[in-house]
Chains A and B, each alone.
Chain A
Amino acid sequence: MAVLTRRAPRAPAPIRIRSPLRQAGIAWIFILPFVVLFAVFYLGPLLVGIGMSFTDMRSTDVADPLAVDLVGIDNYLRLMDDGAMRRAALNTVVFVVTALPLTIGLGLAAAVLLNTGIARLPAAFFRLGYYLPNITSIIGIAVAWKFLLEPEAGLVNRLLELVGVQGPDWLQNEATALPSIIVMTAWRSFGFTMVVLLAALQSIPRELHEAAEVDGAGRWARFRSVTVPSLRPVLLFCTVYSSVGFMQFLEEPLVMTRGGPLNSTLSASLAIFNQFGVGNYGYAGAASTVLFTVIVALAVLQLRLGRRR
């Protein structure tokens, strides 16, 4: 007779779940790097910038920031009378309202073409190519474009010569400098929109298209009444994301034209950057507070309008 001796299971070790308070303490240690950095490098500077905008602070006051004088809203009043600032605001508006539809339109066109059922490998290849400018250093791109647009040696004017057109000095001409930068920006940015829209297109159920086709909807009708409505949330995301980015455009004119000729490519951010460069901290603070407010207001407005419809 076999005796089954079975040892009683050992009592489990007492469970020590840490108290919620203790866990909260540990959690705060985990998020500490972010919180400290946010407070010191983002929230603090944001508030300091707004505070500076009501003073006459200049770069020479950095050693003793408390010695500056309060000037109320003088900096804001000065902004409205400043021709360069007004030009910068106008350029920024022109830039956003032209570069935005161009970028979204090109991105949508590329996404729709890539989604027509072409083979996987060529599709991946095209996607890669279109996305490349998006992840390339602005300075690398600026060099390439300045070279292309060079009045004598540049490829663009050489090609125009072939058809008998004398191309302008694109970046040194008041009429063509900003449009050149707009085209370059759309060229550079549409790949991002394409990738996001393509992912959204691929998630539209096939049945929707098939049902519409059964109902006799043609290609264009299906695009308008199936594809576009399904893309609405993602199009809204792209619009908000791109316009917030375009409102701040700075590096493009900085490295291509330095805002010239005659301020024709000066952007709001570049004007602020220039004021910062010459040491007008209070004035630059006022301009950046205005820019920040406009960007936030624009994003909120777009989200409101986009959701309502």
Chain B
Amino acid sequence: MSRTRRQHAVVHLGLAVGLALVAGPFLWTALSSLKPEREIRRDPPTFWPETWTLGNFVELFERVSIGTAFANSMLIALVLVATNLLFCSMVGYAFAKLSFRGKNVAFGLVLVQLAIPAIVVMMPQFVLIAKLGMVNTFIGIILPTVVTPLGVFMMRQFISDLPDELIDAARVDGAREFRIFFTIILPLCGPPLATLGLITFLGSWNNFLWPAVVAQSESVYTLPVALNILNGHETTHYNLLVAGSVVVIAPILLLFVFLQRFFIQGIATTGLK
């Protein structure tokens, strides 16, 4: 079967070239962040750093308040994960297992919200946030996404597949809906909650436009916003930028490598169902 083997070699080669093209920019950035500034600009360029240094990161944390931005991003992401896990599963449960008037219309709203482009509602949202006195606050950044339609949709899909008998039995025993939800449904939702938590964290961590509009001072900047300010300065040195880019990418990379099966599951379920 040398023909199949040769085919496999060609396939592997093609995939490897593709991977080099995809991972190349990341690798180049990561290696550059560990070079001194002079070496970054050297002609011809070095691929592997001649002098290894963490100086760029030290400078980044000292001169630009990247530490604050990192903490802000982390705080906002964790709060959003918590609210989304709770609210999306509650809403998803009602749509999956409770019967009530107006259910179809209300579920239609979930799909409508999925279809509304961010830019179209951004201005009025900002005016609203301004009226509420929430400009330049964490709550202003967080509020529009405390419960997301994609999360509701995912949780509804999963909870629909749980057997009705579980809930009926509990109802016969006189359990109240909130108790049924917290003691019977929620404990069974481990895998989709993990996926939802990851997707939410990711979305919040990478979210750029809305935080950039709401946050107006360094104490409220998230990581992408702080990095973009740095990116906008004409005089900025690439050494700081590449280091900043590593700081924003690294946590996601770690999460992704360890938890990739939840990611892939999430995409497959939301994409195909």
Please list the residues of chain A having a beta carbon within 8 angstroms of any beta carbon in chain B: 13, 15-18, 20, 23-24, 26-28, 30-31, 33-35, 37-38, 40-46, 48-49, 52, 62, 65, 110, 113-114, 116-118, 122, 124, 126-133, 135-148, 150, 152-153, 155, 158, 187, 191-192, 195-196, 199-200, 234, 237, 241, 244, 247-248, 250-251, 254-255, 269, 272-273, 276, 281, 284-285, 288-289, 291-292, 295-296, 299
The yes or no answer to B1 lying at the interface (CB within 8 A) is: no
The yes or no answer to B238 lying at the interface (CB within 8 A) is: yes
Cα separation A114 to B14 with both chains bound (whole Å)? 10
6 A-B pairs with CB atoms under 8 Å apart are A38-B110, A136-B206, A139-B245, A153-B41, A237-B271, A284-B123
Q: Given that A38-B109, A135-B252 are contacting pairs, would A291 and B245 also be in contact in the complex, using a CB cutoff of 8 Å?
A: no
Residues on the B chain within 8 Å of A241, using CB: 271
Q: Assess whether A295 is in contact with B253, with CB atoms less than 8 Å apart.
A: no
Residues on the B chain within 8 Å of A273, using CB: 119, 122, 209
A138 (CB) vs chain B CBs: closest residue: B208
User: Of A130, A192, A200, which is in contact with the most chain B CB atoms at under 10 Å from its CB?
Assistant: A130
Q: Assess whether B123 is in contact with A34, with CB atoms less than 8 Å apart.
A: no
A276 (CB) vs chain B CBs: closest residue: B123
Cα separation A127 to B32 with both chains bound (whole Å)? 25
From B23-31, B49-57, B58-66, B189-197, give the one contacting chain A: B23-31
Residues on the A chain within 8 Å of B119, using CB: 248, 250, 269, 272-273, 288, 291
Q: Binding site of A, secondary structure by majority: helix, strand, loop or mixed?
A: helix
The yes or no answer to B85 lying at the interface (CB within 8 A) is: no
Q: Assess whether B22 is in contact with A288, with CB atoms less than 8 Å apart.
A: no
Q: Assess whether A44 is in contact with B128, with CB atoms less than 8 Å apart.
A: yes
Cα separation A250 to B205 with both chains bound (whole Å)? 18
Cα separation A168 to B262 with both chains bound (whole Å)? 42
Q: Assess whether A196 is in contact with B268, with CB atoms less than 8 Å apart.
A: yes
Q: Assess whether A30 is in contact with B252, with CB atoms less than 8 Å apart.
A: no
Residues on the A chain within 8 Å of B79, using CB: none
Q: Assess whether B241 is in contact with A147, with CB atoms less than 8 Å apart.
A: yes
Cα separation A129 to B32 with both chains bound (whole Å)? 20
The yes or no answer to B81 lying at the interface (CB within 8 A) is: no
Q: Which of B67-116 contact A (CB under 8 A)?
A: 87, 90-91, 93-95, 98-101, 103, 106, 109-110, 112-113, 115-116
Please list the residues of chain B having a beta carbon within 8 angstroms of any beta carbon in chain A: 7-8, 11-12, 14-15, 18-19, 21-23, 25-26, 28-29, 32, 40-41, 43-45, 87, 90-91, 93-95, 98-101, 103, 106, 109-110, 112-113, 115-128, 130-131, 143-144, 146-147, 149, 152, 171-172, 174, 177-178, 181, 202, 205-206, 208-209, 223-224, 227-228, 231, 238, 241-242, 244-246, 248-249, 252-253, 256-257, 260, 263-264, 267-268, 271-272
Residues on the B chain within 8 Å of A146, using CB: 231, 241
Residues on the B chain within 8 Å of A33, using CB: 87, 90-91, 146-147
Residues on the B chain within 8 Å of A143, using CB: 29, 227, 231, 241-242, 244-245
Say which residue of B32, B117, B146 sits within 8 Å of A248 (CB atoms): B117
Cα separation A140 to B247 with both chains bound (whole Å)? 9
Residues on the B chain within 8 Å of A40, using CB: 128
Q: Assess whether B177 is in contact with A147, with CB atoms less than 8 Å apart.
A: no
Q: Assess whether A196 is in contact with B257, with CB atoms less than 8 Å apart.
A: no
Q: Assess whether B14 is in contact with A113, with CB atoms less than 8 Å apart.
A: yes
Q: Assess whether A27 is in contact with B103, with CB atoms less than 8 Å apart.
A: yes
Q: Assess whether B15 is in contact with A126, with CB atoms less than 8 Å apart.
A: yes
Cα separation A130 to B26 with both chains bound (whole Å)? 12
Shortest CB-to-CB span from B173 to chain A, Å, is: 8
Q: Assess whether A147 is in contact with B29, with CB atoms less than 8 Å apart.
A: yes
Q: Assess whether A116 is in contact with B268, with CB atoms less than 8 Å apart.
A: no
Q: Assess whether A129 is in contact with B124, with CB atoms less than 8 Å apart.
A: no
Say which residue of A118, A248, A255 sits within 8 Å of B11 (CB atoms): A118
Q: Assess whether A30 is in contact with B15, with CB atoms less than 8 Å apart.
A: no
Q: Assess whether B99 is in contact with A23, with CB atoms less than 8 Å apart.
A: yes
A268 (CB) vs chain B CBs: closest residue: B119
Residues on the B chain within 8 Å of A42, using CB: 112-113, 116, 121
Shortest CB-to-CB span from A117 to chain B, Å, is: 8
Shortest CB-to-CB span from B245 to chain A, Å, is: 4
Q: Assess whether B18 is in contact with A49, with CB atoms less than 8 Å apart.
A: no
Q: Assess whether A37 is in contact with B146, with CB atoms less than 8 Å apart.
A: yes
Given contacts A110-B18, A143-B245, A269-B117, 15 further A-B contacts (CB under 8 A): A23-B99, A23-B177, A38-B110, A41-B143, A45-B125, A49-B121, A118-B15, A126-B15, A128-B256, A144-B245, A153-B43, A196-B272, A199-B272, A273-B119, A291-B117
